Amino acid sequence: MASENKTAGKFVLNQRQKLLLPVVMIGAFFEGFDFMVVNLALPYIKNAFGLTEQTAAYTLSAIAVGALVAFFVVRMADKIGRRPIFIWSVIIYSVFSLLTASSVNLAMFVSFQFIARVFLVVCWAVGFIIVAEEFDTEYRGRALGFFQGAAAIGAIFPSLLLPLVSMIPFLHWRGLYIIGALPLLLLLFYAKNLPETQRFMEMKAGKGENAPSLFAVFAAPYRKNLFAIMALWFCMYLSYASAMNFFALRVEGELGWNENQVGLVTALAFTIGLTGYVAVGKLLDMIGRKKTAYIFFGLGSLSVMMVFQAQSFLQVALAQIIGVFFIGTFTVLCATFTNELFPTELRGNVTAWGNNIVGRLGQIAAPALVGFLSAPLLLNGIGNAVTLMACGTLLCVLIVAIFLPEPMTFQITEYKPDIEDETVIKG
């Protein structure tokens, strides 16, 4: 599984990895693409179906439930295999993205996008598993960085394409969902390059270790950190989803921006925001996990508040560029604590509870809360509602400061599934 050339720590792929990495990055790319499409297209979907701002917000929450349901499909990869689940998820997502473009009412749109979201998240999650299992420790971080970077790049393309598809009256926002079906065509050419992972094959052959149960992470040595990780993901997603989902709706509905302005600012923000991944990676290693989290969560929260309170085009554009630089790293920060505070055999389960179950509840709740709080009798507007939700990442700062240790100096307790309450301390 490891690359053969390990000289000077160079990131060198073997032939197997050269073939499979581009295939799994398809899942990451279109996860970022689809997430941005619904956010950019929301003002036009709202007009097409005659929705209020509150109904539009509830629509996003309904679709987001698909990310929670995806957890149960991802678990099937442990029984059926990584490869078939990944490939079928790409096929199903592509078909329902195409069907979304044909929606004639809100019920069809929500139904098609709900199913598409389920299998899109499965593509991303199983792709993450494949990369983690096919790369050894010394290369895994950089391989996952490439994988995550594909999602960030995917988020750039809808903003570049929006002004183009808006020039075709009978397509407009629907054109973006037609483009979202392209993974099906790509799969026809590249599916043969994706093998089943060696670790899954070993497990099926009875050679691998017995995996701990989904509830093993609630054992006494891990419980405190687990609850803190759950809270971290939940609070992060409240801010993250609010900021990402409502930018286009706010600037077009409250500030009167057009498609070209939205597309230009979004493309610039996400292109420049790619440097945030580089910056956060270097700071995590230089000054530690906790200090880096304070900086990025804190400044990210303040940036989002600026985006949703500023009024002039230049003020909002600059704040959005700065904000995306920080916001894009939120999942990296949460994933770092999630992976480094628990032993290898429990990381999948911790990710399931922290991100896929509890964290995604925050992602589901965020749009509905913004819609509710934006009512005239409450906060009177999307901008004010998202500003309040941005406090979620300030809570992340408190969680890291009070409840989580510094992973770099933390002694990891390894789980022994066959021996009750026995632990082995590894420095």
pLDDT of residue 422: 37
Buried b (16+ CB within 10 A) or exposed e, 200-218: beebeeeeeeeebeeeebe
Q: What share of the chain is helix, strand, coil (3-state, %, to 5)?
A: 75, 0, 20
- More confident: 410 or 273: 273
Mean pLDDT across the chain: 81
pLDDT tens digits for 120-174?
A: 888 887 887 787 777 765 666 567 667 777 887 888 888 888 778 877 777 788 8
> Is pLDDT at 426 greater than 60 in this prediction?
no
- More confident: 11 or 119: 119
Average confidence (pLDDT) over 40-58? 86
Residue 252 · residue 380 · CB < 8 Å: no
Please give the CATH number for the structural domain made up of 15-208: 1.20.1250.20
pLDDT tens digits for 234-274?
A: 999 999 999 988 998 899 888 999 888 888 898 899 889 88
> Is pLDDT at 364 greater than 50 in this prediction?
yes
In this prediction, residue 419 has a pLDDT band, given cuts at 50, 70 and 90, of: very low
> Which CATH number does the domain 209-427 belong to among 1.20.1250.20, 3.30.300.100, 3.40.50.1000, 3.40.630.10?
1.20.1250.20
pLDDT of residue 138: 60
> Is pLDDT at 186 greater than 90 in this prediction?
no
387 token code pair = 């500003």
- More confident: 151 or 97: 97
Q: How many CB atoms lie within 10 A of CB 234?
A: 23
Average confidence (pLDDT) over 53-72? 85
Query: Which CA distances in Å does 315 have to 96, 258, 272, 321, 378?
Result: 38, 16, 17, 10, 26
Interhelix angle 53-74/106-134, nearest 10 degrees: 40
Contacts of residue 327, defined as CB under 8 A and 6 or more positions apart, other chains included, come to 240, 243, 244, 273, 300, 303, 304
Domain ranges of the chain: 15-208, 209-427
Average confidence (pLDDT) over 381-396? 94
pLDDT of residue 16: 76
Which of 53-67, 104-118, 155-169, 184-198 has the lowest average pLDDT? Answer: 184-198
Q: Do 15-208 and 209-427 come out as alike in CATH topology?
A: yes
pLDDT of residue 412: 39
> Is pLDDT at 411 greater than 70 in this prediction?
no
pLDDT of residue 209: 52
Top mean-pLDDT range of 115-124, 228-237, 363-372: 228-237
pLDDT tens digits for 308-362?
A: 999 999 999 999 999 999 998 898 888 888 877 887 667 767 877 888 789 989 9
pLDDT of residue 410: 38
> Is pLDDT at 423 greater than 50 in this prediction?
no
385 token code pair = 């509602």
Rg over CA atoms, the chain:
21
Residue 175 · residue 38 · CB < 8 Å: no
